[in-house]
Amino acid sequence: MDEYQEEETAFAVEEVSKIIKESVESAIGGNAYQHSRVHQWTTTVVEQCLSQLSKLGKPFKYIVTCVIMQKNGAGLQTSSACFWDNTTDGSCAVRWENKSMYCIVSVYGLAI
Amino acid sequence: MMQGSNTYLIRPNHQHKFKPAVVKEYIREIVRDRLSGVRYNPEEVPELCRSLADSIKDKVKNAGLDRYKLVVQVVIGEQRGQGVKMSSRCLWDADTDNYAEDVFMNENMFCVAAVFGSYYY
pLDDT tens for each residue of A14-48: 999 999 999 999 999 889 999 999 999 999 999 99
A9 lies within 8 A of chain B by CB? no
Average pLDDT over residues A62-90: 92
A10 lies within 8 A of chain B by CB? no
CATH of the domain at A92: 3.30.1140.40
The angle subtended at Cα A88 by Cα A82 and Cα A91, nearest 5°, is 45
Please tell me the predicted confidence (pLDDT) of residue A40: 92
Q: How close does chain B come to A44, measured CA to CA in Å?
A: 10
Q: How close does chain B come to A34, measured CA to CA in Å?
A: 9
What domains are defined for chain B?
14-119 (3.30.1140.40)
Residue B118 CB partners (closer than 8 Å, separation 6+) = A61, A63, A110, B68, B69, B70, B71, B92, B93, B96, B97
Are B79 and A94 in contact by the 8 Å Cβ rule? The answer is: no
How many residues would you count in chain B?
A: 121
Does the predicted model carry a pTM greater than 0.90?
no
Report the side by side order of strands in the sheet with A101-111. Answer: A90-97, A101-111, A60-70, B84-91
Distance CA B1, CA A86 (A): 9
Distance CA A72, CA B103 (A): 21
Q: How confident is the model at residue A67 (pLDDT cuts 50, 70, 90)?
A: very high
B81 lies within 8 A of chain A by CB? yes
Distance CA B74, CA A80 (A): 6
Structural domain including A99 reads: 1-111
- Name which of A58, A45, A38, A57 is nearest A19 in CA terms: A45
- For residue A86, the chain B residues in CB contact (below 8 A) are 1
Please tell me the predicted confidence (pLDDT) of residue B2: 62
The mean predicted confidence, pLDDT, of chain A is: 88
The span from the first CA to the last CA of chain B, in angstroms, equals: 13
Q: How crowded is residue B111: how many other Cβ atoms within 10 Å of its Cβ? A: 24
Distance CA B106, CA B37 (A): 8
CA distances from B49 to A87, B25, B42, B54 (A): 25, 19, 11, 9
- Name which of B89, B109, B93 is nearest B42 in CA terms: B109
Q: How close does chain A come to B31, measured CA to CA in Å?
A: 14
What's the pLDDT tens digit per position in A92-112? Answer: 999 999 999 999 999 999 998
A:53-82 residues touching chain B, CB 8 A cutoff: 53-54, 61-82
**Sign for the pseudo-dihedral over CA of A18, A19, A23, A24:** negative
Are A94 and A108 in contact by the 8 Å Cβ rule? The answer is: no
Please tell me the predicted confidence (pLDDT) of residue B48: 92
How many domains does chain A contain in total? 1
- Low-confidence residues of chain B, pLDDT below 70? 1-4
The interface pTM score, or ipTM, of the predicted complex is 0.84
